[in-house]
Amino acid sequence: MKKVTGPGGGLLQPLDCNPSDIALHSDDEADHREGEWAKHGGYMQFKKRKLLAQFDEAADKILPEAAEEFRSNIFHGIAVHVNGHTDPSADEIKRIMMLHGGQFHLYYNRQTTGFIIASILPYTKIVQLKAKQVVKPEWISESLRAGKLLPWKDFELYPLGGRGAQPQPELQPKEPKRRSSKGAFPAAISDNNPDHHPIAHKAGDPNYLNQYYARSRLHHLSLWKVEAKQLVERLQEEHDGTFPGVERLLAHFGARHDPRSSPRSVIMHIDFDCFFVSVGLLSRPHLAGKPVACCHGKSGHGKMTAAGQHDQPFNSKSEVASCNYEARKKGLKNGMYLGPAKQLCPELVTIPYEFEEYKRISTIFYQVVAGYTLHIEAISCDEMLVDCTQIIRDIFVSPEEFAGFLRQEIFDASGGCHASAGLSHNPLLARLATKKAKPNGHLFLEEDQVSAFLVDIPIRDLPGVGYSAMEKFHQLNAKTCGDLSKIPLSELKTVFGQKIGQKLHNYARGMDDRGVFNHTTRKSVSAEINYGMRMTQFDEFKTFFEELSREVETRLHTARVRGQTLTLKLLLRHPDAPVEPEKFMGCGHCTSVNKSVSLVQPTDSAEVIAREGVSLFRKLAIDVKEVRGIGVQVTRLVETKKRAAAQVSTDWSPPLVSPTTHNTDHFVDALEKTLNSEVDEELPLFSDDDVAGDDGDEMEHESNWKKHRLEVEYGPDEDWEGGDEEGWCFEAQVVDLLLSDEPVPRHTEEAVKQALLELKEETECWEHLNYFQIPEVPQMLTYPWRFYGATMDFYQEQIVTRHATRRGKSSNNSVKWAFWRLNAPQGAWFRRLKQRLLGRRGKIQSKLKLVPVTASQYKRQMHMPLKVRGANWELDDLVTTEVKEKKIQTRLIFPAPCAPSTSAATESCYPSASQVDPEFLAALPAELLEEVYEQYAAIAKAKEVSSLKVKKLPAQRPPPPAITKRKSKKHKRMPNQPSISSFARHTKSQESVEPDEKDRFVLVVFDSDGTDHVQADTNTTPIHQDDQVVERVASPVGVALGLSGSTDLQPVLSEVILERMPDEAVAEAIVDWCADQLRRFRLSVVERLFNTFYREVDHLEWENGRTEWVEEYHALADRVGQASRDIFGSSLRFRQFAD
DNA sequence: ATCCTCCCCTAC
DNA sequence: TAAGGTAGGGGAGGAT
Ligand SMILES: Nc1ccn([C@H]2C[C@H](O)[C@@H](COP(=O)(O)OP(=O)(O)OP(=O)(O)O)O2)c(=O)n1
Ligand SMILES: [Mg+2]
């Protein structure tokens, strides 16, 4: 285990050299810091060679004029400072100035710097610098082109001076190259609004996003990681079969035999030492050996007070991206603030970021290594894993020799940046070895050295162990891997979870079974900015979010993917945090709020993203002044591929979409668009070209199937190929209703109450629908609105027919009635739609044409796969699959005579607890029931869920209905009325006076806050009961889930919620109904009601009473939870709103 | 069991 | 002054 540092032999010579050595060794690499180059006499000659080489290599980055007319004195006596992004870039201007007699000042000095070159200069900066001459970069390039110094006045950035001055947009780069890696992404947004103010120091200002990203190191880091992976992939694909590096290796070491047996596997990890600083020092060799840090801040004293004074000297909150090893000796670390860094090391020199350079060196780095092998995994711009087993074995070179040779080549090719390397038989040990070898060294860790090596390695050094994990280790009193290896696996798993526990256990023993894989498929695309967010108006949010959406759009395009889930990510000021944090424009201490939405189809459209994101924001009803960070993420990605025309089925498209708010939005927007298009008044809305023909296999009763189709394209894509349109299909009379003046029939208040009452009976009816062996029935119960329209008709037919066959009856009225209810357009969403169409009705009527749809098309629709995900149909499957029956596990509803407990005693013959019909259990004689309970208790115990414990509770009888009623009547609901619980407690104690002979057991989850909750999806356990209340008995393990669906809940709740504000009458009805269900141990029905309730409330926008309904929802959840406490002695917990 | 969703955590 | 992004792993808890 020999750590190799510095020059080991001829090969490794220049590694520990001082600055002058570097200059000697690689004479074309030294550059200079501005303002000081004049001291060095031979500099220009020296520079010339370097530049010539660079012109060849990156001709497109350099002005051609500069190459032709190599030197001049155009800018004699001119000293410039470049601010922000310019074209030509700061780097180029620097070179131009050097070549043409001018001076380039990296830092602005009022006395000596004559001009500031900038395209956009923040207002604050002007004030701060008291800048006099601010000129556009074109001054430089035009002067160069003209061969003489042009009057700078013509290129003044703010010709008017002061106030309304703006940069002239036409002279700005057409595509602001905010990302330094050239051409990696086309610039997303070209800001050609000439009326904007140039300030973009906070979000809401135009172009803030680009300005921000251009300066964000973390953004670049993330971007480069992706690009490095792509580069590796490209190199792998385009490889021509030669490895020049290997040739050189051979030439150097010659053919020979390895004295040792070749190791089974050699993984190398390479990482540049203090990457940003190393690169930064290439042009500042005089700083080598001094402590240097790379960051935005310069002085370290931080922001000024209002009076323009620095209150404290070491207050800078600028983050040190990288610091060199001289600085680290003083205790500096990457990522710390500049203030404390300066405190630790007052002589610290700071250098600015040079993103383009980092990217350039990174590319060289990858190219060099790819000259040896393509078994590369890109980890970041300055770090990779290399599987060099092959090389070591084939060339008979030792791992150390190879590492040294490669490091030397990287050093040369990069112009003088040191990389360190670690080698071992797996990625973990390679990484740890690199860490040990730094700076400027390499280390090969052999298998027999591993355990000795690991003992003293801090746990913190293990990949995947960060702040949070260390907190836990601190409690476990473990610091090193040696300590870690003593912790038993079971404990690690308990503390960290299954996978992480196992991983840590392995890592402590030097075990790591990961290989070297570069490729991964993207799972998400996102963009976020959590800095500089200070907004006062909703419009500012909207503007910024649109900008962000456009950014995500281009990223989606670049990655050639679309996504079906959209997440709005917000950081909000923590209630306890001050309005302005310590860090200038920072986000400070925040709480994060995310909200996501499932889209009808995958999207990559900025328009859709912006609309949905803004809608989500409105639903959260958040005060924009509190927003400190905004992000948007797109997930559930699918590849964007041009579909072959043949694959696109134009003859039918899914007529059903879930009638959520956003779908309504899509629909209305698309409709509006169509109506406003002046192209054609015949076709657009109701086309019949895809309706004709196709009559081969029509159903016999076609006449019954005459429907009309209202069709509006609303896919987000302009370039969608083929007629893969979507629309809504309405029955003719529904279309009429939609467009007529007739009010949509409403449920009256009475009807609502009535419906709630009837639900109970209907519920019972629904449970028996499984009997008909229609696998979709459970889906219908849960998501009835997905079965709107013709599909429902179809199933209705099916059910009625089968029912008739089985029962020998011709029809069943209750079933019919239930379906009629589902089909009726009284649903709130329909009214919502109609409302939206109010102003456009005439226009629609004049333009549209109703087209009958044939039965065969309906038939196709019936075969729509029931592959339901979230709230969406999977469109692709629809197109390509003819008939695809989704197997849905049918729940067992035991007919009384075939009870499992009688037919078999073995555990395996018991159905899963949640599958057992409570009605069946209720019908069992008491002894048999006991037996069943015991069985399930045994099964449950065998499973041993660690967080669940059985707690003994005193038995309670369900309170008589009268009491429940009185209770809820007493409580005229007021906002935030807290007294329900105390009242309930009172009631309960009264109740519990009643003597109870037996104990009962309830499964209880112990929450961290110490409160108990019955988990809605677990189960209540045995209750002894009097013979006469047998029907109230709960199923042992599975009273909870899903047996008794309350089909009609959605339309009814939706109705209630859309039409009214919360009121006590409805609240009471709901609570009573729920309480009654609970007394019958129908937890599932209650749970389902709340799920549906939640969903419906969640669809509300803030202006439509969302706040009130959210409050009402929580209040009702409390009341029902309390009812549950009264009945079971344990509360029920329902899903809570975040807002 | 296995999946999904919503987080938190980690890395550079 | 300051530029605190971004993707993936995986745990917790719930749905199927
Ligand atoms: N908190 C951080 C960590 C890193 N980086 C950037 C700057 C680093 O130069 C680069 C590479 O990160 P490394 O972790 O490899 O750190 P260094 O290369 O700077 O130092 P080391 O010698 O430890 O590799 O990423 C950053 O901006 N902010
Ligand atoms: Mg590094």
For the segment A474-514, what is each residue's pLDDT rounded down to a tens digit?
999 999 999 999 999 999 999 999 999 999 999 999 999 99
Output the 3-class SS for A594-630.
EEEEEEEEEECCHHHHHHHHHHHHHHHCCCHHHEEEE
What is the rounded average pLDDT for all residues in chain A?
Answer: 64
Q: CB of residue A633 closer than 7 A to nucleic acid strand C?
A: yes
In whole angstroms, what is the distance from residue A550 CA to residue A604 CA? 9
pLDDT score, position A436: 96
Q: CB of residue A477 closer than 7 A to nucleic acid strand C?
A: no
Nearest 10 degrees: CA dihedral of A14, A20, A25, A31?
120
pLDDT-derived band at A346 (thresholds 50, 70, 90) equals: very high
H or E element that contains A270? strand A267-272
Among candidate residues A25, A13, A50, A1, the one with its CA nearest the CA of residue A408: A13
Enumerate residues 6+ apart whose C-beta is below 8 A from A394. none
Top mean-pLDDT range of A3-7, A305-309, A818-822: A305-309
Q: CB of residue A500 closer than 7 A to nucleic acid strand C?
A: yes
Q: For A388-398, how does the pLDDT look when each residue is reduced to its tens digit (9 = 90+)?
A: 998 888 888 89
Strand partners, A883: none
Q: The domain spanning residue A632 has which CATH number?
A: 3.30.1490.100
Residue A107 lies in a domain: yes
Nearest CA to ligand 1 atom 18: A274
Say whether both A297 and A416 belong to one domain. Answer: yes
Task: From the CA of A468 to the C1' of B2: give the distance in Å.
Answer: 28
Between residues A1104 and A412, the one the model is more confident about: A412
The mean pLDDT of A110-119, rounded to a whole number, is: 77
In whole angstroms, what is the distance from residue A420 CA to residue A403 CA? 9
Task: From the CA of A945 to the C1' of C13: give the distance in Å.
Answer: 13
Residue A708 lies in a domain: no
Q: Where are the beta strands (DSSP E) in A347-418?
A: 349-351, 376-380, 383-387
pLDDT-derived band at A467 (thresholds 50, 70, 90) equals: very high
pLDDT-derived band at A1078 (thresholds 50, 70, 90) equals: confident
- Residue pair A670/A714 in contact (Cβ under 8 Å)? The answer is yes
Residue A129 lies in a domain: yes
Say whether both A245 and A368 belong to one domain. Answer: yes
- Nucleotide closest in space to A431 (CA vs C1'): B11
Say whether both A220 and A142 belong to one domain. Answer: no
Between the CA of A471 and the centroid of ligand 1 the distance, in Å, is: 23
Q: CB of residue A954 closer than 7 A to nucleic acid strand B?
A: no
Residue A442 lies in a domain: yes
pLDDT-derived band at A110 (thresholds 50, 70, 90) equals: low
pLDDT-derived band at A797 (thresholds 50, 70, 90) equals: low
Q: pTM above the 0.80 mark?
A: no
Residue A622 lies in a domain: yes
Bases in strand B with any atom closer than 7 Å to a protein CB = 4-12
Between the CA of A507 and the centroid of ligand 2 the distance, in Å, is: 22
Residue A698 lies in a domain: no
Domain boundary residue among A126, A155, A184?
A155
Point out the least confidently predicted range of A85-99, A154-168, A786-800, A807-821.
A807-821
- Nucleotide closest in space to A315 (CA vs C1'): C1
pLDDT score, position A1093: 79
Say whether both A226 and A357 belong to one domain. Answer: yes
Taking the alpha carbons of A346, A352, A357, A359 in that order, is the dihedral positive or negative?
positive
Say whether both A421 and A353 belong to one domain. Answer: yes
pLDDT score, position A714: 32
pLDDT score, position A730: 44
Between the CA of A742 and the centroid of ligand 1 the distance, in Å, is: 68
pLDDT score, position A1060: 72
Task: From the CA of A872 to the C1' of B4: give the distance in Å.
Answer: 14
In whole angstroms, what is the distance from residue A292 CA to residue A351 CA? 7
- Nucleotide closest in space to A316 (CA vs C1'): C1
Residue at minimum CA to C1' distance from nucleotide C5: A219
Top mean-pLDDT range of A760-764, A832-836, A931-935: A832-836
Between the CA of A439 and the centroid of ligand 2 the distance, in Å, is: 10
Peptide bond between residue A88 and the one before it cis (omega within 30 degrees of 0): yes
pLDDT score, position A835: 66
Q: The domain spanning residue A60 has which CATH number?
A: 3.40.50.10190
Write the single-letter amino acid at A331: G
Say whether both A143 and A217 belong to one domain. Answer: no
Q: CB of residue A218 closer than 7 A to nucleic acid strand B?
A: yes
In whole angstroms, what is the distance from residue A727 CA to residue A823 CA? 18
Predicted ipTM of the assembly: 0.98
pLDDT score, position A584: 94
- Residue pair A614/A627 in contact (Cβ under 8 Å)? The answer is no
In whole angstroms, what is the distance from residue A285 CA to residue A307 CA? 39
**Catalytic pick among A92, A383, A612, A762:** A383
Please give the DSSP secondary-structure letter assigned to residue A293: E
Q: CB of residue A380 closer than 7 A to nucleic acid strand B?
A: yes
Enumerate residues 6+ apart whose C-beta is below 8 A from A705. A699, A790, A854, A855, A858
pLDDT score, position A690: 27
How far lies A420's CA from each of A204, A245, A310, A407, A990, in Å? 44, 18, 40, 7, 76
Q: For A331-342, how does the pLDDT look when each residue is reduced to its tens digit (9 = 90+)?
A: 999 999 999 999
Between the CA of A674 and the centroid of ligand 2 the distance, in Å, is: 55
Residue A211 has pLDDT above 60, yes or no: yes
Residue A217 Cβ inside 6 Å of ligand 1? The answer reads yes
Nearest CA to ligand 1 atom 28: A321
pLDDT score, position A686: 25
- Nucleotide closest in space to A302 (CA vs C1'): C1
Rounded (5°) CA angle A430-A433-A438: 125
Peptide bond between residue A263 and the one before it cis (omega within 30 degrees of 0): no
Q: The domain spanning residue A371 has which CATH number?
A: 3.30.70.270
Please give the DSSP secondary-structure letter assigned to residue A710: B
Between residues A642 and A754, the one the model is more confident about: A642
pLDDT-derived band at A1135 (thresholds 50, 70, 90) equals: confident
Say whether both A149 and A226 belong to one domain. Answer: no
How far lies A308's CA from each of A128, A305, A314, A615, A948, in Å? 10, 5, 16, 42, 60
Counted residue by residue, chain A has a size of 1139
pLDDT score, position A556: 96
Residue at minimum CA to C1' distance from nucleotide B7: A594
- Residue pair A183/A521 in contact (Cβ under 8 Å)? The answer is no
Q: CB of residue A463 closer than 7 A to nucleic acid strand B?
A: yes
Point out the least confidently predicted range of A93-107, A218-232, A277-291, A661-675.
A661-675
Point out the least confidently predicted range of A82-91, A316-325, A714-723.
A714-723
Residue A273 Cβ inside 6 Å of ligand 1? The answer reads yes
The mean pLDDT of A126-144, rounded to a whole number, is: 74
Between residues A997 and A1056, the one the model is more confident about: A1056
Say whether both A408 and A260 belong to one domain. Answer: yes
In whole angstroms, what is the distance from residue A910 CA to residue A464 CA? 43
Residue A68 has pLDDT above 50, yes or no: no
Structure tokens at A354: 């040079």
Residue A428 has pLDDT above 90, yes or no: yes
Structure tokens at A632: 């948007």
The mean pLDDT of A746-766, rounded to a whole number, is: 42
Among candidate residues A20, A63, A23, A19, the one with its CA nearest the CA of residue A46: A23
Q: CB of residue A201 closer than 7 A to nucleic acid strand C?
A: yes
Between the CA of A278 and the centroid of ligand 1 the distance, in Å, is: 11
Q: CB of residue A540 closer than 7 A to nucleic acid strand B?
A: no
Taking the alpha carbons of A64, A65, A70, A71 in that order, is the dihedral positive or negative?
negative
Task: From the CA of A513 to the C1' of C7: give the distance in Å.
Answer: 22
Residue-range definition of the domain harbouring residue A575? 525-639
Neighbour tally for A148: CB within 10 Å: 9
Residue A522 has pLDDT above 70, yes or no: yes
Say whether both A344 and A243 belong to one domain. Answer: yes
Residue A927 lies in a domain: no
C-beta within 7 A of nucleic chain C, residues 1028-1057 of A: 1041-1042
Place of tokens 């600028």: A318
Enumerate residues 6+ apart whose C-beta is below 8 A from A567. A526, A594, A595, A596, A597, A632, A633, A634, A635
pLDDT-derived band at A119 (thresholds 50, 70, 90) equals: confident
pLDDT score, position A751: 43
In whole angstroms, what is the distance from residue A538 CA to residue A545 CA? 11
Nearest CA to ligand 1 atom 1: A335
Say whether both A259 and A397 belong to one domain. Answer: yes
Among candidate residues A589, A582, A587, the one with its CA nearest the CA of residue A531: A587
Strand partners, A566: A597, A634
Residue at minimum CA to C1' distance from nucleotide C2: A584
In whole angstroms, what is the distance from residue A398 CA to residue A413 CA? 23
Between residues A588 and A755, the one the model is more confident about: A588
- Nucleotide closest in space to A380 (CA vs C1'): B12
Taking the alpha carbons of A914, A917, A919, A920 in that order, is the dihedral positive or negative?
negative
pLDDT score, position A24: 26
Nearest CA to ligand 1 atom 17: A274
pLDDT score, position A80: 83
pLDDT-derived band at A1059 (thresholds 50, 70, 90) equals: low
Q: The domain spanning residue A1075 has which CATH number?
A: 1.20.58
- Pick the ligand that lies closest to the CA of residue A323: 1
Rg (CA), chain A: 36
Point out the least confidently predicted range of A436-450, A581-595, A602-616, A886-900.
A886-900
The full DSSP string for A340-359 is HHHHH-TT-EEE---HHHHH
Structure tokens at A456: 């003293």
Between the CA of A630 and the centroid of ligand 2 the distance, in Å, is: 30
- Residue pair A565/A598 in contact (Cβ under 8 Å)? The answer is yes
The mean pLDDT of A91-112, rounded to a whole number, is: 73
Please give the DSSP secondary-structure letter assigned to residue A1030: G
Structure tokens at A543: 């503007």
In whole angstroms, what is the distance from residue A618 CA to residue A1103 CA? 8
Q: What is the number of structural domains in chain A?
A: 4
Residue A879 lies in a domain: no
pLDDT score, position A1119: 86
Q: Where are the beta strands (DSSP E) in A750-855?
A: 851-853
Say whether both A139 and A277 belong to one domain. Answer: no
Say whether both A148 and A216 belong to one domain. Answer: no
Q: Where are the beta strands (DSSP E) in A388-543?
A: 419-424, 441-444, 524-529
Residue A731 has pLDDT above 50, yes or no: no
Catalytic residue status for A1103: no
Q: For A854-876, how does the pLDDT look when each residue is reduced to its tens digit (9 = 90+)?
A: 333 333 332 232 222 222 222 22
